[in-house]
């Protein structure tokens, strides 16, 4: 009886093995046929004058796997492996062209209608914010013409962020909030904070107070927390990856913020806010967008003013205080602008910080060069020959990753992977300014770069002048950023640092605003003659 049982088991095992051996050729044949089919499809649909298709070991599949596993690191890896000025990634149903060459970057940016950012912007807004169909249609209409909603931002919004009274008012209010908070902190003596969480809170309040005025919704801690819940999952919304199901808490946080913004606008609280927020309401009214959808659009507006300023401030503070040489250079530079009175009052002028502290400004730009993961994106509106050479097909996407330009060894030299706080100083070796993409470029150039940079610089300056920062445990470590949201141009740290803040003295400090009507040279577009043509 037992022998029969074992014999039966052996027979079953033999039959199973035989079946598997007979299935293997079928599976292998199917895979081989599928591969040949995909390869033929790739070759037949890839024009010889298109940028070369790469990373296609398994056509259409390998690029998807690489993008999901490597994220923004993929672009540098592909640049280093293939050394192409531009290449193609073929995905199922779509093409992505990645530009690596600075000259091609300039050519692409000059074709703002053919290679359109606003066409992509309208799709993202629809997915990210949950707008009504009629509002989506309004935003997407005439996306590349001067009279369209998105293209009208240059007329409505951008002037409020350019040099003038509107920008001055925002700068003044933001810095006042920062100064008052640091005054209160200095009065407590030595305190321990979680550095990123503390900086994030300080800059969020300073920024939103400057933009939204005395009825600023972010004075409520619940609104602040809702933002921290929503922002890390923005990409889920932008790509419409079922956020209501897969990012439920973030979805609820978005809807909570929408309700708060509805109340803010319906009560007319924006009339006490900045010229920028007034302009946002005005453009929506002129394009007949309801206040309810204006509230939804403001969630996107919040993303614009917060998502990069908060982590950017953390990284520059980390670089300054973790390196004694950088700290000493910047502290000496700032100290020359401090006016000390007999009664002990110390005054630092905003104009001095913006116009006479090139090492501090250079440190900010180097921080953005080292950390930026921004990717400028365009949609190809019709077939186009880029630089009269490369065919870009209608409906495809063009990517211009900052990390590719910021790690270009021929441009930046052998120290490209090192943090050099004097890299952008006036006496440093000059490089092609197009290669610096910290605030984007062309039609995706950040209109709020002057406001954001002023906030970051002034917060850093006051911290350097008034405090010493010491990590608990005595050693500075640089957090990784692999878990940061891909929607942010500057990544947030994966973990926080416990840091002691020690006041350097017990003196009183004052910020003066003598006026400065010239923009800082932050992007290539701010430098006269830097953009050809």
The Cα–Cα gap between 320 and 311 comes to: 14
Higher pLDDT, 469 or 15: 469
pTM attached to this predicted model:
0.89
CB 302 within 8 A of CB 224: no
DSSP 401-432: EHHHHHT-HHHH-TTTTS--TTTTSTTSPP--
Q: How confident is the model at residue 93 (pLDDT cuts 50, 70, 90)?
A: confident
Is the pLDDT reported for residue 235 higher than 50? yes
d(CA 372, CA 325): 23
1, pLDDT greater than 70: no
Concatenated DSSP letters of 348-361: EEHHHHHHS-HHHH
Closest CA to 270 of 287, 285, 255, 256: 285
Q: Which candidate, 171, 129, 140, 166, places its Cα nearest to that of 261?
A: 129
pLDDT digits (tens, 9 = 90+) for 299-313: 999 999 998 899 999
The structure tokens 């005595």 sit at 474
Cβ atoms < 10 Å from Cβ of 526: 17
Does residue 181 or residue 14 have the better pLDDT? Answer: 181
Phi, psi of 384 (to 5 degrees): -145, 140
Percent of the chain past pLDDT 70, that is, above it, reads 93
* Position 386 pLDDT exceeds 80: yes
Return d(Cα 227, Cα 453) in angstroms, integer: 22
* Residue pair 326/366 in contact by the 8 Å Cβ criterion: no
Dihedral of the alpha carbons of 424, 426, 428, 429, in degrees to the nearest 10 = 90
- CA separation for the pair 416, 409 (Å, rounded): 6
> How far, rounded to the nearest angstrom, does the alpha carbon of residue 458 sit from its chain's CA centroid?
20
Residue 444 burial (CB count, 10 A)? 20
Q: What is the pLDDT of residues 245-292, one digit of tens each?
A: 889 999 999 999 999 999 999 999 999 999 999 999 999 999 999 999
Contact call for residues 321 and 476 (beta carbons, < 8 A) = yes
Torsion of CA 165, 291, 305, 166, to 10 degrees: 0
pLDDT tens digits for 160-219? 999 899 999 999 999 999 999 999 999 999 999 999 999 999 999 999 999 999 999 999
* 516 or 143, which is more confident: 143
What are 488-499's pLDDT values in tens digits? 789 999 999 999
Q: Provide the mean pLDDT of the chain.
A: 90
Lowest mean pLDDT among 59-68, 90-99, 253-262, 361-370: 59-68
Q: Report residue 57: phi and psi, to 5°.
A: -55, -45
pLDDT over 80 (residue 504): yes
pLDDT for the residue 18: 59
DSSP 287: T
Q: What does the block give as tokens for 370?
A: 């080292």
The C-alpha atoms of residue 235 and residue 395 are separated, in whole angstroms, by 21
231 pLDDT more than 60 = yes
Give the lowest-confidence range in 45-49, 68-72, 129-133: 68-72
Contact 169, 275 (CB under 8 A): yes
Alpha carbons within 13 angstroms on the beta-carbon side of residue 395 total 5
Q: What is the DSSP letter of 303?
A: H
CB 135, CB 290: distance < 8 Å = yes
Give how far the C-alpha of residue 67 lies from the chain's centroid of Cα atoms, to the nearest Å: 18
User: Collapsing DSSP states into helix, strand and coil, what is residue 491?
Assistant: coil
Confidence check: pLDDT of 111 > 50: yes
- For the chain, the structural domain boundaries read 1-45, 152-374+437-526
DSSP label at residue 438: B
User: What confidence tens digit (pLDDT) does each residue in 345-381 have?
Assistant: 999 999 999 999 999 999 999 999 999 988 888 999 9
| pLDDT band, very low/low/confident/very high, at 529 (cuts 50, 70, 90) | low
Instruction: Please name the helix (run of DSSP H) or strand (run of DSSP E) that holds residue 461, with its range, or none.
Output: helix 449-466
Distance CA 494, CA 504 (A): 30
Best CA proximity match to 381, nearest among 138, 85, 112:
112
Q: What sign results for the dihedral spanned by CA atoms 164, 165, 169, 172?
A: positive
Between the CA of residue 253 and those of 299, 459, 513, what are the distances in Å? Answer: 11, 29, 38
CATH architecture of the domain with residue range 152-374+437-526: Orthogonal Bundle (1.10)
The predicted structure's pLDDT at residue 144: 78
In the structure encoding, which two tokens stand for residue 221, read together? 């801690």
| DSSP 8-state class, residue 433 | G
Residue 388 has pLDDT above 50, yes or no: yes
**Pair of tokens at residue 383:** 């077939």
Task: Give, as one character, the DSSP assignment of residue 440.
Answer: B
User: Please, which pLDDT band fits residue 26 given cuts at 50, 70 and 90?
Assistant: low
Give residue 6's pLDDT band: very low, low, confident or very high (50, 70, 90): low
In terms of Cβ atoms closer than 10 Å to its own Cβ (0-12, 13-18, 19+), residue 331 is middle
Percent of the chain beyond pLDDT 90?
Answer: 64
Q: What are the tokens at 428?
A: 């440093």
Q: Which residue has the tokens 């300054």?
A: 320
Which helix or strand (DSSP H or E) is residue 265 part of?
helix 248-266
Output the CA–CA distances (angstroms, integers) from residue 179 to 9, 16, 43, 195, 205, in the order listed.
81, 76, 61, 18, 12
| Residues 85-94, mean pLDDT to the nearest whole number | 92
Looking at residue 434, its pLDDT comes to 86
Chain length of the chain: 533
Confidence band for 33, pLDDT divided at 50, 70 and 90: confident
* Position 433 pLDDT exceeds 80: yes
């Amino acid at each position: 009886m037992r022998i029969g049982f074992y014999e039966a088991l052996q027979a079953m095992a033999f039959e199973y093995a035989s079946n598997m051996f007979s299935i293997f050729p079928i599976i292998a044949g199917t895979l081989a046929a599928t591969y040949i089919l995909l390869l033929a499809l790739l070759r037949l649909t890839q024009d010889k004058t298109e940028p070369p298709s790469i990373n296609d070991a398994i056509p259409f599949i390998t690029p998807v796997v690489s993008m999901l596993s490597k994220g923004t690191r993929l672009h540098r890896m592909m640049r280093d492996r293939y050394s192409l000025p531009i290449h193609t990634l073929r995905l199922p149903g779509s093409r992505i062209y990645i530009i690596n060459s600075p000259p091609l970057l300039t050519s692409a940016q000059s074709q703002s209608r053919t290679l359109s950012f606003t066409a992509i912007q309208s799709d993202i807004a629809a997915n990210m914010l949950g707008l009504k169909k009629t509002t989506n249609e309004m935003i997407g209409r005439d996306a590349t013409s001067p009279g369209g909603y998105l293209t009208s931002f240059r007329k409505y919004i951008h002037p409020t962020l350019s040099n003038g009274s509107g920008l001055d008012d925002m700068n003044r209010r933001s810095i006042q909030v920062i100064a008052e908070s640091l005054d209160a902190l200095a009065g407590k003596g030595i305190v321990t904070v979680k550095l990123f969480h503390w900086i994030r809170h300080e800059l969020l309040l300073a920024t939103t107070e400057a933009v939204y005025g005395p009825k600023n919704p972010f004075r409520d801690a619940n609104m602040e927390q809702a933002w921290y819940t929503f922002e890390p999952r923005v990409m889920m919304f932008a790509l419409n990856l079922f956020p209501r199901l897969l990012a439920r808490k973030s979805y609820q946080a978005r809807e909570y913020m929408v309700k708060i913004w509805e109340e803010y606008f319906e009560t007319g609280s924006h009339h006490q806010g900045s010229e920028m927020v007034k302009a946002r309401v005005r453009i929506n009214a002129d394009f007949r967008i309801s206040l309810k959808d204006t509230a939804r659009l403001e969630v996107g507006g919040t993303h614009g003013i917060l998502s990069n300023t908060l982590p950017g401030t953390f990284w520059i503070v980390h670089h300054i205080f973790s390196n004694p040489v950088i700290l000493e250079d910047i502290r000496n530079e700032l100290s020359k602008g401090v006016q000390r009175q007999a009664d002990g009052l110390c005054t630092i002028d905003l104009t001095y910080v913006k116009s006479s502290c090139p090492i501090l400004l250079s440190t900010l730009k180097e921080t953005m060069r080292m950390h930026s993961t921004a990717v400028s994106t365009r949609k190809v509106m019709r077939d186009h020959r880029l630089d009269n050479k490369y065919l870009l097909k209608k409906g495809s996407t063009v990517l211009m990753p900052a990390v590719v330009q910021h790690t270009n060894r021929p441009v930046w030299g052998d120290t490209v992977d090192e943090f050099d706080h004097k890299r952008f100083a006036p006496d440093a070796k000059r490089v092609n300014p197009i290669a610096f993409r910290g605030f984007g470029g062309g039609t995706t150039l950040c209109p709020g770069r002057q406001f954001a940079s002023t906030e970051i610089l002034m917060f850093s300056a006051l911290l350097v002048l008034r405090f010493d920062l010491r990590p608990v445990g005595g050693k500075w470590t640089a957090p990784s950023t692999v878990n940061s949201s891909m929607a942010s141009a500057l990544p947030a740290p994966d973990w926080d640092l416990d840091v002691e803040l020690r006041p350097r003295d017990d003196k009183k400090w004052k910020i003066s605003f003598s006026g400065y009507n010239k923009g800082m040279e932050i992007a290539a577009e701010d430098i006269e003659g830097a953009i050809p043509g």
